[in-house]
Amino acid sequence: MPVSARPLDRLADFPAIPAGWAYLDTAATAQKPRPVIDAIARGYAETYATVHRGVYQRSADMTLAFEAARRRTASFIGARAPEEIVFVRGATEGINLVAQSWGGTFLKPGDRIMLSVLEHHSNIVPWQLIADRTGAVIDVAPLTSDGRIDLDAMAAMLTERHRIVGLAHVSNVLGSVLDARRAAEIAHQVGALLLLDGCQAVPRMPVDVAALGCDFYVFSAHKLYGPTGIGVLWGRGELLDAMPPMHGGGAMIDKVTFEKTTFAPPPARFEAGTPHVVGVLGLAAAIDYVDAIGLDAIAAHEGALVRETREALSGLNSVRLFGPDDAAGIVSFAVEGVHPHDVGTILDESRVAIRAGHHCAQPLMAHLGVDATARASFGVYNGPQDIAALVAGIERVRRIFG
């Protein structure tokens, strides 16, 4: 198989990837590089303390590091100010926060929410919950023939009753990339806001929320080579200022009495309780790691791997490919007559790790006419040897099932 992609020579940074194991499930969660592991270990073993409250030196130092990580995150995605960065448990909590706080405040009966066919359940279910509560109605934008959100069709569907549009920046199943700038312009033409799910975009392409023109942006650290349990909600400052808190507790208050409580300004208003301090430090280390490589270089590397994987699989007449040829870091496929779970199990026997299932995108599976797909997804640690292992494993699947 001709392969021209060259690895980024980063495999040695990832101690959890043993020699000969092809890890192709980065879209689910990325493996962690040594600098991130070291930052987490150091945070717990050497510098740990609570933040924002302690008057002793270590707490003050940790507070400085915590808020430096907020500034680093703001810079990473082009936010105007660090106060626009809210630390959450992950993108799922970020979308729920916007839906419950902004949606619960501003959505009224008859208002409309626009989503798309390819959304992750985390960008569907929170909107269903708030629609049920407020009387709002959900509309669904269709896809083009190659699996992109059809923005022309969406533009024709949008009305002045639409208050918010929620779209994936990159599909977690198809790898199709949204023209986010155009999506923002279309939403704003009818006075709607745009929320982007950036989980699959932030690890593999430069993101500048100001240039994109969106109003909210969410992503999870664990897909960005960082730790689990920490994520980011970015929102335009004036929007966050107008939103009530979703959770109550310590740190998010101004003054508490039994008669009345007043709340701190954002982002503290949305960060009730003791935060995931070391998770935030791990996120900052992950941002430093990908920035040192360069997101343009990562995009080019993963793009080459996707092209070569699709070319290799398209030569197997029993394999069906999904999504566009220029997908970002993700290749979904099916082997004729073989359930994706069986494909994943047999590949695992060949030391190839992929994801098989509906990928938390059941409406998209229904659109594709399948119950599930197999999905290979790439990271900075992958190279041509992983494509070769995947193809050899699929050929073994075909032999076993005839």
Tens of pLDDT along 147-163? 999 999 999 999 999 99
Q: Provide the pLDDT for residue 7.
A: 57
Q: Select from 4, 223, 235 the least CA-distant residue to 120.
A: 223
The answer to whether 235 touches 216, Cβ cutoff 8 Å, is yes
| Positive/negative CA dihedral, 76, 175, 120, 222 | negative
Q: Provide the pLDDT for residue 1.
A: 37
CA distance 215 to 194: 5
Q: Which of 3, 253, 264, 360 is catalytic?
A: 360
CA distance 282 to 222: 10
> Distance of alpha carbon 323 from its chain centroid, rounded?
18
Superfamily for domain range 11-26+294-401: Aspartate Aminotransferase, domain 1 (3.90.1150.10)
Q: Provide the pLDDT for residue 6.
A: 53
Listed in sequence order, the residues at least 6 apart from 21 whose beta carbon sits closer than 8 Å to its beta carbon are 351, 353
Residue position matching structure tokens 């360069």? 294
Q: Provide the pLDDT for residue 377.
A: 98
Q: Identify the band that residue 59 occupies on the pLDDT scale cut at 50, 70 and 90.
A: very high
Taking residue 114's Cβ as centre, other Cβ atoms within 10 Å add up to: 25
CA distance 316 to 62: 54
CA distance 100 to 216: 14
Give the percent of the chain with pLDDT over 70.
98
Q: Provide the pLDDT for residue 4.
A: 47
**Model's pTM, two decimal places?**
0.97
- Residue 214 catalytic? no
The stretch 241-267 carries a mean pLDDT of: 97
Q: Can you state the angle between helices 277-293 and 295-314, rounded to 10 degrees?
A: 80
Q: Select from 125, 132, 84, 83 the least CA-distant residue to 104.
A: 132
| Mean per-residue pLDDT of the chain | 96
The answer to whether 27 touches 329, Cβ cutoff 8 Å, is yes
> Given phi > 0 = left and psi -120 to 50 = alpha, else beta, which region is 383?
beta
**CA angle in degrees (0–180, nearest 5) for 318-324-327:** 110
The stretch 344-364 carries a mean pLDDT of: 98
CATH architecture of residue range(s) 36-291: 3-Layer(aba) Sandwich (3.40)
The pLDDT tens digits of the residues spanning 172-222 come to: 999 999 999 999 999 999 999 999 999 999 999 999 999 999 999 999 999
Q: Provide the pLDDT for residue 88.
A: 98
Q: Taking 50 as the threshold, does the pLDDT of residue 104 lie above it?
A: yes
CA distance 373 to 339: 8
Q: Provide the pLDDT for residue 402.
A: 81
Q: Which tokens sit at 373?
A: 């797909």
Q: Taking 90 as the threshold, does the pLDDT of residue 2 lie above it?
A: no
> DSSP for 148-217?
-B-HHHHHHH--TTEEEEEEESB-TTT-PBP-HHHHHHHHHHTT-EEEEE-TTTTTTS---HHHHT-SEE
Q: Identify the band that residue 361 occupies on the pLDDT scale cut at 50, 70 and 90.
A: very high
Domain ranges, ordered by start, for the chain: 11-26+294-401, 36-291
Q: Select from 19, 7, 68, 70 the least CA-distant residue to 268.
A: 70
Q: Taking 60 as the threshold, does the pLDDT of residue 108 lie above it?
A: yes
> DSSP for 231-277?
EEEEE-HHHHHTPPPSS-STTSEEEE-SS-EEEPPTTGGG--SS--H
Q: Identify the band that residue 5 occupies on the pLDDT scale cut at 50, 70 and 90.
A: very low
Q: Provide the pLDDT for residue 97.
A: 98
